[in-house]
A and B are shown apart, each in its own frame.
Chain A
Amino acid sequence: MSAISFKEVGKRYPGGHEALRGVTLDVEPGDMVFLTGHSGAGKSTLLKLIPAVERPTQGAVLVNGQNVGRMRAPAIPYLRRNLGLVFQDQKLLHDRNAFENVVLPLAAAGVAPRDAAKRVRAALDKVGLLDRERSNPATLSGGEQQRLCIARAIVNRPSILLADEPTANIDADLAAEIMAMFRDFNGVGVTVIIATHDLGLAARFASRTIRLDHGRVAR
């Protein structure tokens, strides 16, 4: 069974903009896939269909065999607990420190505080921010903020990690460091999908690359 499977997926937003057309693809468990394409090609939309942030208007999106496009609203939180999401706009909460940002997925899943604290520290350690757990995200550098997002995405030990432009707005050295992190997660069996407009970055990893062009998979 594929980790993620798109079958003839189309997405038309209210207002008529057609972001995806006839997208069919499969991502196997343990794969590391780059999703590339020009700005507006539909990369973000494709990623948003997987955690059911958006719903397809055509076709089926399957995650671990479940049709998430038709999933009932109460079931969606449980789907998302098995996914790690790194957002393009980071979505860090600035009214709380690094630790409190990372603990949120565990608190929402009802993990006991002592257990959660251990896992938060392990996640912060993995991204090299263990000494910054009390810092407010606003006081962290751009690279550190991105790593904090990654810590929050992996703290739930998801089987699938989705990252939307994780290296935008940071310099090349930091970008390489972050990509190395994703490769490490992939090395321990996590399925990773990274959307990026940086073709060079994707090429360096010799991983599978899916290119989107005006909402279609380019061959």
Chain B
Amino acid sequence: MRGWLRHHRQSLAAALRRVARDPLGSLLNALVIGVALALPLGAFVALATVERLVPTSATEPEMSVFLDLGATRADADRLRAELARLPGVRQVRFVPKDQALAEMGRTEGLAEIVAALGRNPLPDAFVLRLAPGAAAEDAASRAGGLAKVAKVQVDTAWVQRLQSILALGRAATLVLAALLGVGLVAATFNTVRLQLATRRDEVEVSRLVGATDAWIRRPFLYLGAVQGVLGALLAGAIVAAASWYLTPFLAGLARLYGGEPTPILPPPMLIGAATGLAAILGLMGAWISVSVHLRDRR
């Protein structure tokens, strides 16, 4: 058991030494893996960023019901009850026209325009929040048929479309990640195969003097795993650099959508998970490579 642990330690040290002894070759290997991993990693970060720009409450469909300019407070009270009875409606909030104007005045760039207005051009309105997945279009058409309702606007149709696009993006990213994961296995398979070619004599002699396949395989497994880890860390660095470059552009976009212009650094959890996964995939590539080599020379 102690000998086994010692060999694990020695194998890891040997793998690190081998990487350090050939910095250029190791860097290029890591770059191949890093660029491949940076694509899905970057896509995940981009998707997460877009998701943060979209107000989370908006995933529940929302619609605005604008009343006639001449509608009275009594009309509004009657409509509140009628709107609340519509199917799928969870919450009804009344926005009086004075409040709407005040809110508008607080919006950057509109304050002066609001101040210049002689009278309030805005109608009273209701904001309805529907249950998630409720048929917003159906509720909207029924609300539009009520007396004293001037216009119904489904506010969150664009959000729902965006959510669908994001879901598609997430699925596509998973497909991309799976494909590039296979690529990573192939890349380490090849590097380890080259290593095996240069160390053919060592493998042969080790076998002849009583080394088990597991013992022979171990240093190569560590080499594959170390390469995967280096590739993943490089991928993290690539994505972080790209995020840093893109953040100012994002800030402009964020203001447009009322989101927070925060930097879009890849979350440490994601880098950690990617690193662990890359280590496992590198190990798999090395495992296949050594197994093929040993089988062919049995």
Q: Does A156 contact B (CB under 8 A)?
A: yes
The answer to whether A111 and B204 touch across the interface, beta carbons within 8 angstroms, is no
Given A110-B7, A111-B3, A112-B2: A77 in contact with B211 (beta carbons within 8 A): yes
Distance in Å: Cβ of B248 to nearest Cβ of chain A:
52
Give A101 to B134 CA distance when docked, in angstroms.
75
B206 CB contacts on chain A under 8 angstroms: 104, 108
- Interface positions, chain A 79-117, Cβ under 8 Å from B, are 79-81, 85, 87, 91, 93, 95, 104-105, 107-113
Chain A: residues with Cβ within 8 Å of the partner, total of: 25
Q: How far is the CA of A15 from the CA of B293 in the complex (A)?
A: 22
Asked if B3 contacts A51 (CB within 8 A), the reply is no
* A152-B205 Cα distance, complex, nearest whole Å: 11
Whether the pair B7, A109 counts as a contact (CB closer than 8 A) is no
What total count of A-B pairs have CB within 8 Å?
56
Q: Which residues between 9 and 58 of chain A lie within 8 Å of chain B, taking CB atoms?
A: 51, 53
Q: State whether B2 touches A80 (Cβ < 8 A).
A: no
Cβ-neighbour of B210 out of A53, A77, A87 (below 8 A)? A77
Closest A residue to B211 by beta carbon equals A108
Tell me, in angstroms, the Cα distance from A168 to B198 when the chains sit together: 28
The reply to whether A80 and B209 contact each other, CB–CB distance below 8 Å, is yes
What mask results when residues 193 to 213 of chain B are scored 1 for a CB within 8 Å of chain A, else 0? 000000001101111111111
Query: Bound complex: CA of A156 vs CA of B6, how far in Å?
Result: 19
Cβ–Cβ < 8 Å partners of A74 in chain B = 212-213
Interchain CB contact under 8 A, B7 and A81: no
Report the minimal beta-carbon distance from B222 to chain A, rounded to whole angstroms: 16
Cross-chain contact B201 with A152 (CB below 8 angstroms): no
Give 24 pairs: A residue, B residue, CB < 8 Å, sorted on A. A73-B298, A74-B212, A77-B210, A77-B211, A78-B210, A80-B210, A81-B209, A81-B210, A85-B209, A87-B208, A91-B204, A91-B205, A93-B205, A95-B202, A104-B211, A107-B7, A108-B209, A110-B3, A110-B6, A112-B2, A112-B6, A113-B6, A152-B209, A156-B210
